[in-house]
Structures are given as structure tokens and as C-alpha cells.
């Protein structure tokens, strides 16, 4: 009996190469990062441009979604703890970006001090 194969998916990489570059000027900084919201997390790439911050998840199906905000919306950037299960401190390699609205986003990434400096320079 013949075995049916799963249909092939076509994956476009046109938007994943550098989504921040084309629409909002050159990328000043980018890095692999994990967005943490409570116990939920999503791996992806964090981009910084002259005008905004963009988080593009690696998985479009199993993620918290794309996160994008203007640099003018940032009220504070500080180092924080990356946590397991949303409660257990695991690493100091994380930053919290607080917006003027009071919303905040936490990203686990390498070189958090460099990101804090870059975000504060862009926001300032």
C-alpha cells in the first residue's frame, strides 16, 4: 500500500532576513532574544532601529506574536532577571522595557548592558 507524504510547505524568508531594515531604516542592533510574559516565552530576534523596537518570533504558529513599539513610547530600560516558569530566577542576562503606557516587555538576551545603553541612546 503506498504511503502518503505530508504536503510540502513553502516558507518565505523575504520578511525574516531583516524585517526592521526595509520599513523603518537601518537596523542599529539585533540579537537572538527570548520574550518573556509571565511563564510564557517566545524565541526570536530583537531589532533596534532609529525609530522603533521590533521583536520578530522564530515560530509564527507557536509564539506570543510580533512585538513592535516606537522608541518614543519607551519610558525606562533596565536590567532584570530572566525567569523559569515565570517565577524562578535563572539569569541576569535580561532587560525590561517599560512603555509610557505602563506596559512592559522582558527580553532574555546576551549583553544586556549593551542593549540598555543602545536603547537609552536611541530614546534620549
Q: pLDDT tens-digit profile of 1-57?
A: 443 333 332 222 333 445 544 466 789 999 999 998 877 888 999 999 999 999 999
What's 108's domain CATH number?
2.30.29.30
pLDDT of 75 higher than 50: yes
Residue 85: is its pLDDT beyond 90?
A: no
* 72 found inside a domain: yes
Domain of residue 53: give its range.
21-123
The pLDDT of residue 119 is above 80: yes
45: in domain:
yes
The pTM score is 0.75
7 in any annotated domain: no
**Residue 6 in domain:** no
Domain total in the chain:
1
Asked if 95 and 109 count as a contact pair (C-beta separation under 8 A), the reply is yes
Amino acid at each position: 500500500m503506498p504511503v502518503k507524504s505530508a504536503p510540502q510547505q513553502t516558507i518565505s524568508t523575504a520578511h525574516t532576513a531583516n524585517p526592521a531594515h526595509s520599513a523603518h531604516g537601518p537596523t542599529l542592533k539585533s540579537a537572538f532574544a527570548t520574550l518573556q510574559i509571565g511563564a510564557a516565552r517566545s524565541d526570536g530576534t530583537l531589532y533596534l532601529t532609529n525609530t522603533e523596537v521590533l521583536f520578530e518570533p522564530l515560530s509564527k504558529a507557536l509564539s506570543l506574536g510580533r512585538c513592535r513599539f516606537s522608541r518614543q513610547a519607551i519610558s525606562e530600560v533596565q536590567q532584570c532577571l530572566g525567569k523559569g516558569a515565570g517565577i524562578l530566577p535563572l539569569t541576569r542576562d535580561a532587560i525590561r522595557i517599560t512603555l509610557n503606557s505602563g506596559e512592559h516587555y522582558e527580553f532574555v538576551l546576551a549583553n544586556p548592558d549593551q542593549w540598555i545603553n543602545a536603547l537609552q541612546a536611541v530614546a534620549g
